[in-house]
Structure 1
């Protein structure tokens, strides 16, 4: 792998006249036999068979390493031609990326789902190409609901608290799983902000972290869920998402917010569960959270035409569906989404797919977002502790976000 990375940014294959595109991609697999490299090698073989003169060399790295390694490669002048990771804004702002219209054919670009592709814009120009997406729903354990006498999924915060209270009385260990630990608290945070009618930013893209709606959400969590012992014996500030997912698959959690991967984990343990839209203040939340990962094309090696041909190929409907089916993710193109809606074997993903058109995404177009997320991971859990001060913590995050945003221009 070291030699492969060292070669990134090098010239064409010697002697043949071929162009060799370098691709760095994240690994979505959770065990060796479903490593993402298997997908990429299949796609690359098919592409190379139809595109004489273009080779593709892929390096697949774990999520814990891929961002850092890519940043190092770019910093050392060894940028790949393509990268598929979780963020694009820093590279776009630095002028290192091709825009979507420089790379993609019109049919490919117009096939993106608009709510997803809009999150790839920087200053109204699309640089981040959505690669895969997911949304969030409320999961609940049918057997535990029946045991507690809860007859339907909660639609409002009051319903959720009532159901959690009954689950606790029935002896359920964790009535509602609330993960604000360091793994991914920015996701749980955004879901509660949205369910309160707030969010990280407003329609103009300005940060609104300390809005009244957001403060209200964390005061309610502090007082009405955590404060009343409805989130189990653990400290939400030290509880990671995968910990509550694991507890759900052991039958210890009544409810939690989850993404499609939880279905596979729960099915493997024969947990009976259902899903519902996220509860909101007075009824079902109007929007849910969406997450997208991104593909980008680097200018460094000047291979715009070849990069574009490869991207047009990987965004073919069949290739998009192949990836999403492997990892229980959602497609980012209209053609693949429609095919998924028509496929009865994909029925479990339909509720997530329906939410995608209403989803809001992280402010991934902001170069400040990575630094805001780092501080949020350190501090957001304190808001729901006894004596926690959501207004103070969210205000601090807001000030840092604005200062970083202004410094970035």
Structure 2
């Protein structure tokens, strides 16, 4: 499938229009499932809308954001992109708003946290495509060997369970803490939320060095890292993919995981348990949610046709088909309710329950990319033996505030 790099000219109607569409490849095994999904969906759409054609180009996640950026820079923006971020395009006035594209029933069907994350200055530009939450995963076999009978519901219980794992099993990582540069911003956010705060304050401004956040990382450093419960690799050098691989080898007692790890663990015959990430004294403020985005570009003037296609994309059947085949969560209320009732997806039940109250990273800020990178590169230092959480968080926060003020 190829993409035409320019549209067929502006059109206010719905005849003789070709929409260019760049989408990400979700098939981690290198197969054709994403290509087949979009081929089937666009064929069905074109059959119902004979005046509109969809040219689809599937790109790997390693390349798709960069390639769309190159197209936009060359004044050859696609009509639709399904990628990881929308904020820069929204801020530069290149995107249609959600209410310019979608019918009212479709727009009102998105889950609340995903709508909030798709907004820039209270206007929605990013349309959530698929979503996920994070839970605490644990190895049931190792828990049994360590004599642990329940699941941790507080930080203190988590520490006690990690100590039992260290003392009574040969586990390599009682609690794997991946604060390496691959995905440290996500692991950090899970802990900040479980400590009662997060990256931003209630009005949406960065508050990375809040008292609660400092206290959270001090607890992690003192109770997990300094007690040698996080394994032989320093958290600042442990990447998520390596932690996940170690979990599938049976070397990890506990870690924060997402749905795709379930399938890998099952293939490796790991008996996996999952529970909401414990809070300081009980249930945390919220789970961390994440989403990938789909958006409509203004350049070719195909607002009506883009809207028709996106209304079709967000039909429950299409939403459920894609989420189900990729072990991800649907982004609409109706599809989420349908998945919860489906026995085939009972392994996603705990994730689905957390999503409606989850909190996503501040992806609507154009500064977030730089702030996220700063967290990735520096947060591991906060829990290092010579590290100081307050100093590290303050340095990251100062850079974040400067970037935010420049938006």
Q: What TM-score results when the alignment is normalised by the length of structure 2?
A: 0.96
For 1:45 and 1:34, how far apart are their aligned partners in 2? 16
For 2:85 and 2:7, how far apart are their aligned partners in 1? 24
Where does residue 61 of structure 1 map in the other structure? 59
For 1:75 and 1:33, how far apart are their aligned partners in 2? 30
Q: Once the two structures are superposed, what CA deviation does each residue of 1:133-159 show, in whole Å capped at 9, x if it has no partner?
A: 000111111110010011111111111
Where does residue 344 of structure 2 map in the other structure? 345
Q: Once the two structures are superposed, what CA deviation does each residue of 1:339-389 show, in whole Å capped at 9, x if it has no partner?
A: 101111110111100001110001011000001111111111111110111
Deviation at 1:12, TM superposition (A): 5.9
For 1:203 and 1:316, how far apart are their aligned partners in 2? 33
Work out whether 1:8 is the aligned partner of 2:9. no
**Tell me, what secondary structure is at the counterpart of 1:183?**
coil
Deviation at 1:34, TM superposition (A): 4.4
Where does residue 146 of structure 1 map in the other structure? 144
For 1:279 and 1:250, how far apart are their aligned partners in 2? 24
**Tell me, what secondary structure is at the counterpart of 1:275?**
strand
> Cα RMSD between the aligned structures?
1.3
Tell me, yes or no, if the aligned pair for 1:82 and 1:296 is still in contact at 8 Å.
yes
Report how many aligned residue pairs link the two structures.
402
Where does residue 286 of structure 2 map in the other structure? 287
Change beyond 3 A, Cα 1:140–1:61: same
Deviation at 1:286, TM superposition (A): 3.0
Matches within 5 A, 1:252-291: 252-291=251-290
For 1:276 and 1:377, how far apart are their aligned partners in 2? 26
For 2:371 and 2:33, how far apart are their aligned partners in 1? 31
Matches within 5 A, 1:90-169: 90-169=88-167
Q: Once the two structures are superposed, what CA deviation does each residue of 1:188-226 show, in whole Å capped at 9, x if it has no partner?
A: 000000011010001100101001111111111112111
Where does residue 228 of structure 2 map in the other structure? 229
Gaps of 5+ in 1: none
Matches within 5 A, 1:3-402: 4=2, 7-11=4-8, 18-170=16-168, 171-402=170-401
Larger deviation, residues 298-307 vs 242-251 = 242-251
Q: Once the two structures are superposed, what CA deviation does each residue of 1:22-71 show, in whole Å capped at 9, x if it has no partner?
A: 11111111122244222111111111111101111111111111111111
**Tell me, what secondary structure is at the counterpart of 1:131?**
strand
Q: Once the two structures are superposed, what CA deviation does each residue of 1:76-121 show, in whole Å capped at 9, x if it has no partner?
A: 1010000111111110010000000100011111111122112111
Tell me, yes or no, if the aligned pair for 1:12 and 1:18 is still in contact at 8 Å.
no
**Tell me, what secondary structure is at the counterpart of 1:291?**
strand
For 2:341 and 2:146, how far apart are their aligned partners in 1? 36
For 1:88 and 1:12, how far apart are their aligned partners in 2? 24
Q: What TM-score results when the alignment is normalised by the length of structure 1?
A: 0.96
Deviation at 1:18, TM superposition (A): 2.3
Tell me, yes or no, if the aligned pair for 1:12 and 1:20 is still in contact at 8 Å.
no
For 1:18 and 1:240, how far apart are their aligned partners in 2? 49
Gaps of 5+ in 2: none
For 1:35 and 1:220, how far apart are their aligned partners in 2? 43
Change beyond 3 A, Cα 1:174–1:374: same
Q: Once the two structures are superposed, what CA deviation does each residue of 1:286-320 show, in whole Å capped at 9, x if it has no partner?
A: 31100011110000000000000000001000000
